[in-house]
Amino acid sequence: MTAANLLVELFVEELPPKALPQLGRAFASGLSEALRAQGLLLESSTTTSFASPRRLGAHIGQVLAKAQDRELKVKLMPASVGLDPSGQPSAALRKKLAALGLDEGAAARVVTQGEGKASTLYIDTVAPGVALPEGLQRALADTLAELPIPKLMSYQLGDGWSTVHFVRPAHGLVALHGAEVVAVQALGLQAGRRTRGHRFEASSEFVELAHADDYEHSLREQGAVIASFERRREAIATQLDQAAREIGGGLRPLHDEALLDEVCALVEKPRVLACRFDPQYLEVPQECLILTMKANQKYFPLLDDQGRLSHRFLVVSNIDPLDPSAVIEGNERVVRPRLADARFFYDQDRKKSLEQRVEGLQRVVYHARLGSQAERARRVAHIATALARRLDPTLETAVRQAATLAKADLLTEMVGEFPELQGVMGRYYALHDGLAPAVAEAIEDHYRPRFAGDDLPRGATGLCLALADKLETLCGLWGIGERPSGDKDPYALRRHALGVVRMLMERADASRDWLLDDLLRLACEAFAGVEGFQDPSQALRDFVYDRMANLLREQGYAAREVEAVLSLHPQWLGDVVARLDAVRAFAALPEAQALAAANKRVANILKKSPAAGGPTLQEALLREPAEQALERVLRELQPQALAAQARGDHTAALQCLAALKAPVDAFFDHVMVNVEDPALRANRLALLEHLRQAMRQVADLACLAG
């Protein structure tokens, strides 16, 4: 079978930039997988994707002109239908063979399998391999139907009657197998070898492709297009760094992967140009200026080595003029009113203090069933001050003040224009109002962590407020039935739960009095009197543990280790990692598996015994030497384990248990638990209960049994 490289390109109008990377990958992988499924690719085949603002493409190596024929065993029909009483082929069988394209002589190859009424007729035949035009046509149709298109457009073809649905109108289709055009069609287009280059920079209107392997080179040289999304992105990043070095002063472009992806999806031939704005605008908080340049203009601000914004910025142009001054001046002119708007918003907002805005929160709906932002602020203040009293009573006043003002910046012009700045602007306005730095910092930090991997609140005041804010959100929305389901989580409750977990686990200054069940109860108390609210503490606790389990597994802990610790529902989350490390160290001991298996056996015995957990252990009823030895070792080890646990040395607490292996083995070898004497049986069950409790102080070791 002859094989050659295949190129497929779909030329379209400007694609949505945020969707382009995913569309490019899906187009290439969809074609490759569909061709491989039809037997048209050799094992060594590789695929390269191309994606630019006006094209989706794929270069697929080692594609066969025709797939190999395949041997098949075809089920025909029951033998009672296909054979007459004399065993000869019936009319129904001959008709079936004809439908399969087989002549009458094929009847001699029909075989019978099975016996009696279950006997069935089969025939061995060869399925001809699919030819590339047919296979590619099928692959194109399937791939285009499955593309992750954010929103379909409908447009008419040139005939004025046919309507096509696609992400953007398509104007060209290329399909080359080596040097040969593959006769396929899609979206009303017939495949050829001609594409278009850059809208302004191409040397000619069309680019003729002589061979599938010429695509990237020809587009670059004749069409002024870097077709590969990855190479174009790398070129932009290199030019950004080079332009910053040429400006000097230790400036560096803002690092923003999402912005780099979006800009890459807007240009086909990038050229980075350096621009500037009036330094007077630097009086505005830099977060505002950076956001307006990024979100509105897709510019790259330049920062100094301290992370401070400079008055220089970089533009990625889609043209490469000999004299770029007009492009530079145009972008500087465009950014000026954006920065002026930011300064106007900032100046206007400072005419009114945060405290003066608090009353307006009464008119801002938080949730139809949970009231206004003012009511929410009161609930958050109730929870946060209670947390502060447990952590450090001297924080209570600052925490209450921060909680009262935390949502006030929602009513400012700046946050109205840029919702992403809520909290950030609250800190600036709080400092302008003369509030304590810790209060201002807490107002900004109470949204942290905003996303996975985000920084936690910096100070204790912010920690109390951020924890209270997330607990209020979780309990309130969960309590009115707004719970996540499947992949739907419109209120980001999973993210809020993860934030609670991280603050309780990772902050060394978190109070040891912040116990999970108590925190959930405290938060739920703030909703007293809210109509339709039902206490969700139990279900919410399980939800929090589930998010914590996911986080710990992502951090590299084994599922059994996580289960062993979290199955005990630890209330203070600050030592969960220490418990996990202790479990991991214990699991490495030679006695670990035997003790884990014994603990599992103990749990099963106690689960099946109604007397378990009843009478206390009586030494006088310990008759057998093995049970006496087990009780003695338990009595000696328990103070050591408890002392180690009290000083936070969970590893030592678990390693004490290694000495139990021999007496536990002897107990199960020589002692019958479920004896007829009820007093003896109850006493032995009590001994096992003592054993289980000793082995569950740090983690449920039964979960380690493998």
CA nearest to 270, candidates 303, 298, 311: 298
What's the CA gap between 401 and 392, in Å, rounded?
15
For residue 580, give Cα distances in angstroms to 131, 565, 573, 706: 58, 7, 11, 17
For residue 461, give Cα distances in angstroms to 13, 434, 437, 458: 52, 17, 10, 9
Please write the tens of the pLDDT for every residue from 333-362. 999 999 999 999 999 999 999 999 999 999
Please write the tens of the pLDDT for every residue from 470-522. 999 999 999 999 999 888 999 999 999 999 999 999 998 888 999 999 999 99
What's the CA gap between 230 and 236, in Å, rounded?
10
Q: Centre a 10 Å sphere on the Cβ of residue 685 and count the other Cβ atoms it contains.
A: 23
What's the CA gap between 637 and 651, in Å, rounded?
14
Please write the tens of the pLDDT for every residue from 170-179. 999 999 999 9
Please write the tens of the pLDDT for every residue from 296-316. 999 999 999 999 999 999 999
Average pLDDT of the chain, as a whole number: 92
Which residues does residue 313 pair with via DSSP β-bridges, in sequence order?
A: 275, 301
Asked if residue 418 lies in contact with residue 295, where contact means CB atoms within 8 angstroms, the answer is yes
The class that CATH gives domain 575-704 is mainly alpha
For residue 129, give Cα distances in angstroms to 35, 37, 532, 600, 626: 12, 12, 65, 57, 74
CA nearest to 705, candidates 606, 604, 603, 592: 592
For residue 504, give Cα distances in angstroms to 437, 507, 573, 575: 24, 6, 6, 9
State the amino acid at position 25 in one-letter form.
R
Indicate the helix (H) or strand (E) that contains 156: strand 153-156
Range with lowest mean pLDDT among 95-99, 446-450, 548-552: 95-99
356 contacts: CB under 8 Å, gap ≥ 6:
none
Model pLDDT, residue 546: 96
For the cut 90, the answer to whether the pLDDT of residue 467 exceeds it is yes
Looking at per-residue pLDDT, the higher value among 183 and 615 belongs to 183
What's the CA gap between 146 and 33, in Å, rounded?
12
For residue 485, give Cα distances in angstroms to 100, 500, 545: 49, 20, 17
Structure tokens at 257: 């992967």
- The full length of the chain comes to 706
What's the CA gap between 697 and 646, in Å, rounded?
11
CATH of domain 365-556: 1.10.3210
How do the domains of the chain map onto residue ranges?
3-67+131-221, 70-127, 229-349, 365-556, 575-704
Structure tokens at 66: 């025709």
Model pLDDT, residue 220: 96
Judge if the upstream peptide bond of residue 449 is cis by omega within 30 degrees of 0: yes
Please write the tens of the pLDDT for every residue from 392-412. 999 999 999 999 999 999 999
What's the CA gap between 445 and 433, in Å, rounded?
18
For the cut 90, the answer to whether the pLDDT of residue 34 exceeds it is yes
Asked if residue 35 lies in contact with residue 143, where contact means CB atoms within 8 angstroms, the answer is no
Mean pLDDT (whole number) for 279-297 = 96
Asked if residue 421 lies in contact with residue 287, where contact means CB atoms within 8 angstroms, the answer is yes
CA nearest to 655, candidates 639, 644, 670, 668: 644
Looking at per-residue pLDDT, the higher value among 83 and 536 belongs to 536
3-state secondary structure of 11: strand
